[in-house]
Structures are given as structure tokens and as C-alpha cells.
A and B are shown apart, each in its own frame.
Chain A
């Protein structure tokens, strides 16, 4: 009740309505959601090359078993299988909306989490000094109406991928999005508005904050499935991603100007006891799969206009280490999901797992540069010309780069 009163008195209401009305062009409705798995997920146990005997030779205690066996992989294409904890996304695969690109990753050889993440986020592998993220650059060239919450980062900080000159909103705790804060009290907000009415960095951040909070609160409170949302919010939830994903989906459906979103999930750095069909990694994958399924379902009518990417900074060693885990590796698997994705297929050039086929004789090789997938797929999805690929990933060699979009023609 309190929340509705607060929303009804917001000054920005008419303005937000105008944003909604103007964002009607088809090209302006495309959404992109990136889920980053920080810590280097073990892609070989996500999309399992069960058809390659060397996979089992290298992973005596942590290999995911063949399809059909107890806790075995879920068959994808008779060579690769999906980790059984990801059963919740199998319907999306079967509908042909989920694709994977295996043996993909960064051309940079680093095995530092932090450099590798930086390079995937700033989009310029090997060049750490570039401070902007490729999603922020994308926001700058994206067609359609821009609002202070056209891009939302879930978390208390703006990650590198969304850093840059374009305004980005963030949510440190999506569950309390509707709660009134002390600065919302009458008198207090006016006083701070005076203090931060200028054009300096803090003032601009304050103004963005006021606008984006109102816009996100309105999107969150709008629609006819509020009871369902309230019920979800009240229930004790074991993991935040499925709830946050459902909340974002709802907001995107209600407010077409919310176009880009970013999630980061941690806990993938499985140096010990990562488990096989069950265990530590399985326990992380399950809520990830459920969140993605919740996102696809929750987006409803706008799912057809949505592209969801799941990525991680690098893969892990092919050979399990001495403690039932894996150390830092190189090639990994990227996921693409959405209404326009030509899915039901594992893309990429499989390099094999024989020792002489491995990168530095220990890791899955990278045969597909992540930029050559994301560049064309993202720009095409957002109806941008191919020339904008260079905006996202400026260091890609102009000639001789094999681009491939994974969208349906």
C-alpha cells in the first residue's frame, strides 16, 4: 500500500509513459541479457564430449557419465551431452532455441581470472587499459529510446562490461526494489536534489539513481502477475538467480525501454572436489539452469525478441587435478538462448582431446574467438549494421575473420 502511494506520487510518471509509447519500433524492442559465470566454469562438464573417449581417460573421478547411465549426461547430438543438473533447460534445446559454441574463448593466453574477465568484458583481449565495456558501447549505438535503466546490472557495482559513458542502472538487492528508502521521505529528497542538482559526476549519478529507481519500481509493480511476484518474494529461496531472473523478465515485459541486463554468478573455481553428475558443480549448475528457464518463461511475449548469452572467462584443465578438481585452463563453452537463436546445435570446431590437440598440452584449445560469435550475433539481433561489430570489439582484425551469427536467417 505504502509502495503504491509512493509510486503514484512520483513526478516522473508521465515521462516514463512517454518512453513506453515511443519504444514501438520492432528494432527498438530487442533485448540482450548476459550471464557471466565468474571463476571459470568447467565447460567440459557443462557440455560433455561423451563421444570422445579421451574425456573419460582424463577425468577418472569427475567425468559425467554417458547418457542413459545413472546421473549421466543428457544427450544433445550423440557426441555432446548436457550436465544432468541442467535438465531444466533441455526443453529449450528441444525447441531449437538453445545453442552452444564449444571450444570457444579468448585469444589471450592468460590463466588469470581477473585479466581474462577484464578482456571478455572490455572486449579487447590483451589490452587491459581499455576502461569501457562492450555492453556500454553497445548501449551507445543501440537504436531506440534510452532511459537511465535501459541497461541494468544486477549487483551492488557496475561491472566492467557495462562501464563507460552511457548511463547504467544497478540493483544491489532486487528483492527490496519496492522498498522506500530514507531519502525518499518528503523534504529529504528535495534537500538532496538541491545538493546534487549540478553536472558533476556525483550529481549525475544521483539524478540517474532517482530516475532509474522510479522507473524500475514502476516496471516491477506494473502488470497483472503482481500476486505471483509477491508470493515468490515472500518465500525463502535457496539461491538468488532464479528469483532475480524472474524479476528481470517481469520488468522487461512491462517496460520495453529496459533492453540490456547483466548478471554475474560466482563459485565456479572448482579446484577441489567438483563432483561429476552430482556434487559441487552440479549444485551451482542447477539454479543457473532454473534461472535461465525462469527467464525464458517470464519474458513471455518478449522472449521472441530476446537473446541470452552465458559466458565465462576461460575453461578448466582437461585432466582432473590431484584433488578431484580442475585448474585454470583455456577453451570453454558459450551458451546462446532466445527466440531468434538457431539452436538445438553445438557450434564450433571441436579440436579433440588428445594431448597433441590440447592447448599447451593441457587445455581445450580455443578454435572460436568469442568475439567472432558475439559480434555478429549481437549486432544482428539488435538490428545494427555489421560495421558496428568494430564498436563492440575494435581490435578484431578486419580481414580474414570468419564471423558467424547463430541467429536464424
Chain B
């Protein structure tokens, strides 16, 4: 209980004091219609009808300043009502897993069906809430960052218990931290059961330890390696195989409470169903370690804190994160000066992610004509931005999830810890082109998921740049007016943001 509270309070405190409140210094081209459209496209999931005008009216700089302080932006009723209607979102990790485990035990046909249904519902609600927030939340930058950071700390929905945990991982370990300090985000992911389970660290034990059945157990390198390669330093971040092994030793015993059951019984503690983080001293390697040249005394869970400190404070981490953020928000091959300025902001601020975002947004590169409209949308960005532009918010999101599946970007569906790629070459291919245009056609017709919507091409037009590419203009002029919405949503102007 204490632990959960702590996690929720700390980032809010940090956010309130973060660099977000100071006014931004933006180049003049930011305060134009194209600038407003660019901000909505890059720092969120594209405009809904009328939003470009609203952002222009309040000032692009003011809109962004507010986006950097998401806690000051109220969530619309339409969103909170939808989220409230999904009961699994309010359940705790332990409640979800206990229910899952209970259903799993019933091996009758009806029991197995109930188990499947339960997992399917929990996973559907998690995915639906991701889509709903992207569609309806006014905290657009926060949601774009959730997309980025979930992917950075990817957990796969198809691995065992993670089916019911991926949504909790996003809500508890990612969303509260995306504009706070990276060190806290890193620790939130490190201690979440979804991550402990996904990369096997719950099993990682000092060589020669004994398992629950008395069997010999030992080291597991999986999480230690990805923690450096993917989450912090980057693959060329200067660590060796020896560092991987040393970090794995540091992480021994950093696991799930369930594993520590015999110890709890030994201390006469009450059995409680709880899969939160536990540090199991009986499986920890208490020898000294050397990580990236620094000696870490064997003293238990503080070693993990120290290791995370070292990793979060490394310039290699700053550079790795800066590059990835710039690639996600700015360009497939981001300008090295931009990456440097973001990495510098990271180091100067001690890992403050708002400062990093500010450095990116204040860079003239972000607002350059060669940047605007040149980033190919990922399948998620494409489908969500199309629904926003057309003002189509279906009750049943299953068909949208199906499209994301066909396009290769199912939510929580990337199997390996590297996450989805964020570049055009990963997403532009013949099959995807046919399926994107088919989605545009369906959406443009207003018939989706068994519901009918009024889709108006003049409204969609406001979500696109003032001047369209010649081929788009020609095709629109020569086509059946009924197809204009489909053509706009399927146009090259809309495929890029």
C-alpha cells in the first residue's frame, strides 16, 4: 500500500516544480496556422475539427506550455465516462492476477472459457483505454509520450501473466512519469511486476541459491542486458559482457513477492495475495560488484538503486534517449545538433524529461519546413489521427485493433523488448498501403464497427495543410464527391505529419 502511494505522489511533486511552467521561446513560424497544425500533429495525434483554430487563438507557445503540464488540463467527460465504464482499469495488479489465477485453476470447459473471456476482456479494456485517451484526451503530449515510453520499456501482452498486466504497467509505471525525472521512470518500470515477469528477473538468483522446491537456481541475464542495451545506455553505450553479468548479480533477488512466500511464512507474516516487488535477501548475491568501472559494495537492495543511479546519470543514456525521442518526434534521421542539445538538457537538468522536451521544441529544427509534414505516421498514429480528423469515435474499438494488427502494430503486441520501430522504412510497404487506404475508405464512408457516423470532407480538410500536394488536389477535383473523405484520409498529405 505504502509503495503505491509513494509512486503516485513523487512524480506529481516533481512535475509541479519542473521546468514546464517557464514560458517557451519559439521561432516566429511556430505562431502560424501551419505551426499550430504541426504542434498538434507532432506533439499529439493530430487535430480534431476546429482544434487548429483553437490552438492558434490561444497561441501555439501557450498551448505547448500547457501540454508540458498535463496535470493542469482537465480530462473531458467523454473520456472519463468511457474509462470509468471499463472495470478492469480500476483493479489492482494483485486483484487481476488473483482472479486470473483462480480462473486458470478451473480446467472444466466452462472454466477455461471463463478464463479466456476474462483475459480477453482485461486486454481489450487496456487497449481500448490507450486508443480512447489518444482520441479524446486533451493531454495530447502526455499521450504521445506514453506511446513513446511504453515502446521504450516494451512489455509483450502475449507472455503469461503480462496479458492482464500490460495495461497496469502503462498506467502505473509509464503515464505518471513521462514528463518527470527519467531516474524515477526507470525505477517505476524496474519494480513493476509486468517488467519483472517479462524479462525474467523475478527468477534471477545468486548462483547456488535454492528454489521453493529446494532445487538449485541461479543467475539470469535477460533483464540486466536489456536494461543497459535498450532502456538506458544503448547498444554502443560502452558496457561489456562482464557488466551484463555484474548487473545481473546486482539484480538477484529483485523479484515478485509471490516468490518470497516461504520467507514470509518463516516470519509469521499473514498470507496476502500480492505480486508487488519484493527484494528476496535469500536469493541475493552479497558479493561486491564492479559496474561500468564503479565498485558497488554488496549490501542488498541499495545496490539496485545505485546501479539505476549510475545508468540514469550516464552520458551514453542521455545520448541514447535524446536520439530516440528526436527520431520519434522530429525525423527518422534526426539532426545531430538537435540530439546533442537534447542530451545536454538531460545532463544539465539531471535527467528531467520536461527539460529534454523543451530543448527539442525550442530548436529551430523542430519548426523547419524540412521537418513539417515529413514524418511518416506509424499505424497507430495514422488510424488515431484519421478518426480524430473525421470525428469518428466508435464504441466498439475491436475493428480498429484489427486494423492495427494487420498493419503490424497491435497495442502491447510487440514480442521482443526493443519495441516497434519509429521510421518510415518500417511501415511503408505494399500490404500496408492497401490496408491503410482500405481503412481510409471505410472511415470515409462513415460506417465503422456497426455504427454510422456523419463524415464530412470539408471538416476533414481542416486537419490538413492549407495547400495540398498537386496530385491530391487533382484526384479530389476529378473524383466522386462521395469519395472525397476517403481520398483526403488516404492522401500522402495525411500519411505524413
Query: Which A residues fall within an 8 A CB radius of B?
Result: 38-39, 110-115, 131, 148, 153, 155-158, 163, 168-173, 181-183, 185, 187-188, 191-192, 194-198, 200-203, 205-206, 208-210, 212-213, 266-267, 269, 271-272, 321-323, 325, 327-328, 360
Contact = CB atoms under 8 A, between A and B. Distances in A.
A112 B427 CA distance: 23
Given A148-B430, A213-B430, A267-B415, A195 B425 contact: no
What are the 8 tightest A-B residue pairs by CB atom distance, in nearest-first order? Answer: A322-B218, A156-B408, A209-B430, A195-B475, A182-B441, A271-B222, A182-B438, A323-B203
Contacts of A182: 437-439, 441-442, 445
A168 B431 CA distance: 10
B222 A157 contact: no
B475 A213 contact: no
B2 to A, nearest CB: 30
A129 to B, nearest CB: 11
A115 B235 contact: yes
A328 B221 contact: yes
A156 B406 contact: yes
8 contacts: A168-B430, A194-B471, A194-B475, A212-B430, A271-B200, A322-B220, A325-B220, A327-B222
A376 to B, nearest CB: 30
Given A191-B480, A196-B471, A323-B203, 7 more contacts: A112-B229, A156-B432, A172-B406, A182-B441, A195-B471, A195-B492, A197-B471
B483 A327 contact: no
B90 interface: no
B459 interface: no
A258 B169 CA distance: 44
Contacts of A212: 430
A272 B200 contact: yes
B415 A170 contact: no
B406 A205 contact: no
B470 to A, nearest CB: 9
Interface stretch (B12-20, B116-124, B204-212, B390-398): B204-212
Contacts of A208: 430
Contact of A202 (B217, B435, B492): B492
Contacts, number: 160
Contacts of A269: 222, 416
B449 interface: no
A110 B239 CA distance: 11
Given A131-B425, A170-B430, A192 B406 contact: no
A272 B205 CA distance: 12
Given A181-B438, A202-B428, A266 B415 contact: yes
A155 B430 contact: no
Interface string B427-456: 111111111011101100100000000000
Contacts of A322: 203-205, 207, 209, 216-220
A328 B408 CA distance: 27
Given A39-B416, A212-B430, A155 B408 contact: yes
Contacts of A170: 429-432
Contact of B428 (A172, A192, A201): A201
B416 A38 contact: yes
Given A156-B406, A191-B483, A195-B472, A205 B229 contact: no
B218 A323 contact: yes
A185 B482 CA distance: 13
B474 interface: yes
Contacts of B483: 187-188, 191
Contacts of B480: 187, 191
Nearest to A39: B416
Contact of B486 (A148, A191, A206, A267): A191
B495 interface: yes
A327 B221 contact: yes
A191 B438 CA distance: 12
Interface centre among B221, B222, B433, B487 (most CB of A within 10 A): B433
A202 B203 CA distance: 47
A187 B425 CA distance: 30
A260 to B, nearest CB: 15
B418 interface: yes
B225 interface: yes
